[in-house]
């Protein structure tokens, strides 16, 4: 498992929720970058990375939204 995803996954110990908004965003972006890297690692399409990076902010937004307490 990659480091960004590990950090987000550490939510059970309240690591994520105890961070500042800026740190939470950085953690979400790191997790999104990890997911993008896993997605494009075996791809043969040169345009996939560029396309995925354009969606980085949206992915990070979705990660942060999913981690909000209900």
25-37 confidence digits (pLDDT tens): 998 999 999 999 9
pLDDT: which is higher, 10 or 70: 10
CB atoms within 10 A of CB 36: 18
Stretch 13-35: mean pLDDT:
85
Q: How many domains does the chain have?
A: 1
Q: How far is CA 28 from the centre of its chain?
A: 4
Instruction: Give the DSSP H/E element, type plus range, for residue 36.
Output: helix 21-40
Instruction: State the Cα–Cα distance between residues 13 and 65, nearest whole angstrom.
Output: 18
Q: What does the block give as tokens for 21?
A: 């908004």
Range of the domain at 57: 3-67
């Amino acid at each position: 498992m990659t480091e960004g995803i590990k950090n987000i996954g550490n939510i059970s110990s309240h690591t994520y929720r105890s961070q500042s908004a800026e740190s939470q965003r950085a953690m979400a972006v790191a997790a999104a970058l990890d997911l993008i890297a896993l997605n494009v690692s075996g791809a043969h399409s040169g345009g996939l990375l560029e396309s995925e990076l354009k969606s980085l902010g949206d992915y990070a937004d979705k990660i942060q939204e999913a981690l909000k307490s209900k």
